[in-house]
């Protein structure tokens, strides 16, 4: 999972003024927007569904991408193929587990903050 945080000034609909906001991106998708002035937070509820959709698309397009790679760099691709085939399920599981643990850990933290 690729997580990136940036800070920028945006208009806050809760405190009704321009203020510093923290934007959290997960795999390039906006996941959460927080106003640093008043703490108002907007979380995109279906970001996990979007990211899972991207993973599914990557899986489905892999044969085509592999064919292109073999055509462009045949010897390099074929020599690295056995180790990539063996490690791919573990790398993929690690990515999904990283996403799942981040999102559910954040949900628990957010629920504690609300109570």
Would you say 36 and 22 are in contact if contact means Cβ atoms under 8 Å apart?
A: yes
Q: Are 23 and 6 a contacting pair, CB within 8 Å?
A: yes
d(CA 76, CA 83): 12
Select 17 or 67, whichever has its Cβ closest to Zn ion. 17
Nearer to Zn ion, 14 or 78 (CB): 14
Q: Which window, 2-10, 15-23, 67-75, 101-109, contacts Zn ion (CB under 5 A)?
A: 15-23
Which parts of 16-35 interact with Zn ion (CB under 5 A)? Answer: 35
Q: Output 12 or 51, the one with its CB closest to Zn ion.
A: 12
Site for Zn ion in 34-93 (CB under 5 A): 35, 37-38, 40
Site for Zn ion, rule CB under 5 A: 12, 14-15, 35, 37-38, 40
């Amino acid at each position: 999972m690729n997580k990136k945080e940036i800070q920028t000034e945006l208009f806050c609909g809760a405190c009704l003024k321009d203020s510093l906001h923290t934007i959290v991106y997960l795999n390039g998708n906006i996941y959460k927007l927080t106003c640093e002035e008043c703490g108002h937070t907007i979380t995109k509820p279906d970001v996990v569904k979007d990211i899972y959709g991207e993973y599914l698309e990557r899986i489905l397009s892999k044969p085509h991408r592999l064919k292109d790679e073999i055509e462009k760099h045949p010897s390099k691709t074929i020599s690295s193929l056995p180790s990539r085939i063996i490690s791919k399920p573990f790398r993929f599981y690690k990515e999904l587990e990283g996403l799942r643990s981040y999102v559910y850990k954040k949900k628990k933290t957010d629920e504690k903050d609300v109570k």
